[in-house]
Structure 1
């Protein structure tokens, strides 16, 4: 074989080999850029994953709901027992996931927030989403090298940041940002409609706890403000217990319930003379699934409040608007029925 040809072949081989090295190096860099994801949780801790999470355990019930809003319900391998035990949540999430309907997704929890860590390990989760107060569970999971994204849902900023943070870790960041933009736009639209006279609202906690309320700075307070109303409770506390005398003193225009019945108020002799009771201005948020203030659905809570308090449109118009918002949040996979 001529020496010139051999030299030419060697040069071509060298160039080709160099090109392959550069090409492979470029692909590795691109994969690293795509597959290494990070987000900061409610603690200010940066969670770094080598790739998008595909097997997610959620131990905070409201965030199960938000996983479906993100279009990531298929990534769920573990959820709280309460999802199956809450009739409203179970009914509506069954519409978007047949595994929920058949109760097939594992529930690594006992009553309340107690978690069976061994079950989480068996589920081979590459991400766990845990409520900030479940400190023991957080410590146990992190001690087993399971990445934990802690959520608080304590105000609008945290709800937004946590949604985008989880969206980033599971490959749904754009969807999360679109949800935040949609909710913000709706809030801005409501602000332009607010009446000059702000009605006062007393909120009573679930399961008939009429004398337990939410003070200033709480999530319910956020919903009341977005509705263009004012929280009748002036106390800067998350969940104060109050007396009948205090409620008479505050004299709210409306009383609003979540996961309670209006008769829980109307049957109380202590509040029988309260103007809001006399004037039949006691309302219950039903179905509870659509009005959870721990998620971006604080918007729906506010919309319902505004409809009751300011009568700016008919029941039919409100239902149509509710369906439009629900359609966006669940990508038209859920009905109001």
Structure 2
């Protein structure tokens, strides 16, 4: 009898402990991209997010976010579409990822600020003020998957994070398994001779699409190169980064660019505003694939695939997201 009572009490204690940990929080240790150790009570209750708001939205954890950056409202068609559908997602603006309003941030009293790791001075400034910071810099698909996984732990959405990663991998596998000729790609920024070079996530995606970035290997993320070098690369397809001040027509009509295969074959396209540090990267992969391999997948099929992905991950359709591409 005593043994049964002991077993019952032990079981009740374990259940209560688990419930207590989930309801009132437990401390967990994380490591960010700087190799910095951060201990937080999870699930986080008051986070400020400067760049990974789409990840948080996909997890269904915006109820634990108290502030976001201006970028969400200006540059994320996914967030704009979600906000239109659910206005309660609106959060106070704390500035931009590069310039944070300390007074507003302090008023929000966050448990942690989640931001990019490419501004060490700002990170140090905030930490010197006693603010806990987690900094990330995903430089490849593997890093992005880890970023989503960490956010799942932060917000007690581990299973949802696994679902999202599995869905992303499923779509990438689908694209990898399709047959198509190898393509040589160039991605232009501003000015037109500024190229995207060693951007890990973009280059990982291109490899999944049986394509290569001809500017990869320059040792920098962006590089200014001569037009002669671009002509020498002779890409099959040219993508313009989403924020360029010029469009495809400028490249297609410029006399100096006429020797390039992509120009001769009218294969110059402006990329949509889909983020690369978010599950949205899969939407970008699908979008690129339709122009890289015109013979491989019909555009109607691409639209169906994009709708399926966005509905699964964000509970909105690609058509709803696309509405904000013109903004």
Q: Normalised by the shorter chain, which TM-score bucket?
A: 0.7 to 0.9
In structure 1, what is the equivalent of residue 205 of structure 2?
223
State the SS of the aligned residue for 1:50. strand
Distance 2:103 2:76 in 1: 27
- Residue of 126, 130, 134 corresponding to 1:141: 126
In structure 1, what is the equivalent of residue 304 of structure 2?
320
- Residue of 114, 117, 121 corresponding to 2:99: 114
Distance 1:331 1:46 in 2: 34
| Correspondence 1:197-236 to 2 at 5 A | 197-205=181-189, 208-216=190-198, 218-234=200-216, 235-236=218-219
State the SS of the aligned residue for 1:146. coil
Distance 1:194 1:38 in 2: 44
**Is 1:305–2:288 an aligned residue pair?**
yes
Q: Which runs of 4+ in 1 moved over 6 A?
A: 21-25
TM-score by length of 2: 0.84
- Residue of 248, 252, 261 corresponding to 1:275: 261
Aligned length: 309
**Is 1:82–2:75 an aligned residue pair?**
no
Contact 2:82/2:316 (CA < 8 Å) preserved in 1? no
Cα-to-partner distance string for 1:58-94 (whole Å, 9 max, x where unaligned): 122xx11111111112322211112223374563242
Distance 1:87 1:230 in 2: 26
In structure 2, what is the equivalent of residue 12 of structure 1?
none
Distance 1:142 1:279 in 2: 52
State the SS of the aligned residue for 2:91. coil
Against the structure 1 CA distance between its residues 89 and 323, is the aligned structure 2 distance closer, same or farther, given a 3 Å change threshold? closer
Q: Which structure 2 segments of 5+ residues have no match? A: none
Q: What's the offset of the Cα at 1:326?
A: 0.8
TM-score by length of 1: 0.81
Q: RMSD across aligned C-alpha pairs, in angstroms? A: 2.8
Contact 2:144/2:277 (CA < 8 Å) preserved in 1? yes
| Correspondence 1:30-109 to 2 at 5 A | 30=18, 33-34=21-22, 35-36=25-26, 37-60=28-51, 63-86=52-75, 88=77, 91-99=80-88, 104-109=90-95
Against the structure 1 CA distance between its residues 213 and 94, is the aligned structure 2 distance closer, same or farther, given a 3 Å change threshold? same
Distance 1:131 1:225 in 2: 25
State the SS of the aligned residue for 2:139. coil
Contact 1:117/1:137 (CA < 8 Å) preserved in 2? no
Contact 1:292/1:298 (CA < 8 Å) preserved in 2? yes
Contact 1:214/1:221 (CA < 8 Å) preserved in 2? no
Against the structure 1 CA distance between its residues 96 and 159, is the aligned structure 2 distance closer, same or farther, given a 3 Å change threshold? farther
Contact 2:113/2:132 (CA < 8 Å) preserved in 1? yes
Q: What's the offset of the Cα at 1:96?
A: 4.3
Q: Which structure's CA Rg is the greater one? A: 1
Distance 1:114 1:136 in 2: 11
Distance 1:28 1:140 in 2: 41
